[in-house]
Amino acid sequence: MKKYPIGIQSFEKIRSGNFYYVDKTEFVYNLVEEESGYYFLSRPRRFGKSLFLDTLHQAFAGRKEYFKGLFLENNWNWDEQLPVLHISFGAGIFKDTDSLNLRFNYLLSRFAEEYKVKLKGKNISDRFDELVRKISEKQNQKVVILIDEYDKPILDNIDKLETAIEIREELKNFYSVVKDLDSYLEFVFITGVSRFSKVSIFSGLNNLEDISLGRRYSAICGYTQNELECVFKEPLKCADLNAIKKWYNGYNFLGEPVYNPFDVLLYLKSGEFRNYWFETGTPSFLIKLLKENQYYIPLLELFEAGEGLLGSFEIEHLEPETLLFQTGCLTIKEEISLGSRKSYLLGFPNLEVRMSFTDVILNHYSCPPAKKEKRLTAVYRALFEARLDDLKEIFLSFFSSIPHDWYRKNKISEYEGYYASIFYSYFTAAGLDVTAEDTTNQGRIDLTVKLDDKIYIIEFKVIEVDKTKGSALEQIKKKKYSEKYQQKGKKIYLVGIEFSKNDKNIKNFMWEEEIGMISYVGNPER
């Protein structure tokens, strides 16, 4: 039986062993056939960037034996073997410029030894320049430079502005060498998670083509639906393809949606749906940034962003939406043309990310989080059985458990978005079908939750801040939000939840079941 190449970044190991492999070598051919020769690719972590880079390495090194049966076998000049400098910053944690320079020196010394050249330069940039020139002259061939996880030293320190800037400048000096080596270079390919601007990192490297959102290369990493079903035909015989798609597909880079390969391989090995990718690294700094910006979490369900938000960013000006997109927490749902301008609808790519991300949000927004799992189960059961009194008690207890000192450090209790974010995160982390800012012809419903034969229409209000006349429940009825769902043959529940910024808890919890107009108005005060 074939093995699953989980976490394996070596093309040689996969091809020489009995592993499944999705052929991506046509992309190698396309990149080399184009005129540029200088490329940059941004993709989320564990998406296959390192494996693709090693595929390039083995192709340029002329290792034809590993490409048997693949597209490149009969579409490559195997008589030519070029020297390859394969640089990776994936190993270890970079705490400062000293640790970065140690890595630089190690890599340069290793390459000098491999190609039997001596370096006389003292500083990093001079040694790098000297290395490329001497290898090219000695081999009488142009050099290939492959750089993996170029941005990891910065991302390791993204929450330490001063250190991150210092590291950025060191990287800038290192990468700037490439711009003056054009006559010595055959091909350059750089990968990372983030897209820092060319000015800040690749100063002067104007011919570096960013293919991150190039339609032709949208599936360069990840598995398409066809690749999944063809390559893994045997292990998928008894699998639920729709469920796999719901859990792990949905990443869109302006082309055909792709699956996260790490998730697919682990699912196929275990046969269980789990949050494999998200569990490998929690974006704690990103969650902290959302919290500090009092971000309205339900907005992440679907919102419109301009091209600028999807593009590059600077350390000094971090936009949560940009980080969310580049780290893979959000993806493109739809491209919108606005004359000569474009914008994009962004949202969670799949069920795994949606549930996992909101689960992490709960760990940071709620205090303490120890009872979170028990509450998630209780929330699901309360909605499944339409026991809204129980739902009220669950959240009353939750907000009561948060120490007053936690609020003293911020003014988050004044914002309706905070309370709505808590409810939204609990509902989505529990795996419920939630629509935020649900559009109707009369306005937008704060939250709509669908479960089995029930639909819950929920409106939030902070009574000391929102001076709109009428209760939250009355607002739902006045705007006739339920009309959108009256033809669905479902039981409809209208739920108005009002908070007090002074009490830092639910003040009024009112609901009505619209079928038969069975009405209940509740107030948590006893």
Residue range 285-309, pLDDT digits in tens: 888 888 777 788 888 888 888 887 7
| pLDDT tens track for 223-278 | 999 999 999 999 999 999 999 999 999 999 999 999 999 999 999 999 999 999 98
Query: What is the Cα–Cα distance from 40 to 312, expressed in whole angstroms?
Result: 12
CA-wise closest residue to 41 among 33, 32, 30, 49: 49
CATH 3.40.50 region(s) of the chain? 11-217
**Which residues, 6+ apart, have CB-to-CB distance to 340 below 8 Å?**
none
First to last CA, the chain: 65
CA-wise closest residue to 509 among 519, 500, 525, 521: 521
Could you tell me if 127 and 119 are in contact, meaning their C-beta atoms sit under 8 angstroms apart?
yes
Buried b / exposed e over 262-280, threshold 16 CB at 10 Å, is bbbbbbbeeeebebbbbee
Could you tell me if 84 and 155 are in contact, meaning their C-beta atoms sit under 8 angstroms apart?
no
Q: 300 by DSSP, 3-state: which?
A: helix
pTM of the model as a whole: 0.88
Give percent above pLDDT 70 in the chain: 92
Mean pLDDT of the chain: 88
Mean pLDDT of 466-483: 86
| pLDDT tens track for 152-203 | 999 899 888 899 999 999 998 899 899 889 999 999 999 999 887 766 788 7
CATH number, domain 369-522: 3.40.1350
Mean pLDDT of 30-55: 93
Q: Which pLDDT does position 348 carry in this prediction? A: 94
**Which residues, 6+ apart, have CB-to-CB distance to 214 below 8 Å?**
254
Q: Which pLDDT does position 404 carry in this prediction? A: 52
pLDDT higher than 70, residue 453: yes
In the numeric block, the tokens 């989505």 are attached to 428
**Which residues, 6+ apart, have CB-to-CB distance to 288 below 8 Å?**
159, 364
217-220, long-range: CB within 8 Å, 24+ apart, which pairs? 217/27, 217/30, 217/41, 217/253, 217/255, 218/252, 218/253, 218/254, 218/255, 218/256, 218/258, 219/255, 219/256, 219/258, 220/24, 220/27, 220/41, 220/52
Residue 25's pLDDT band, with cuts at 50, 70 and 90, is: very high
CATH number, domain 11-217: 3.40.50
CATH 3.40.1350 region(s) of the chain? 369-522
In the numeric block, the tokens 């009969």 are attached to 74
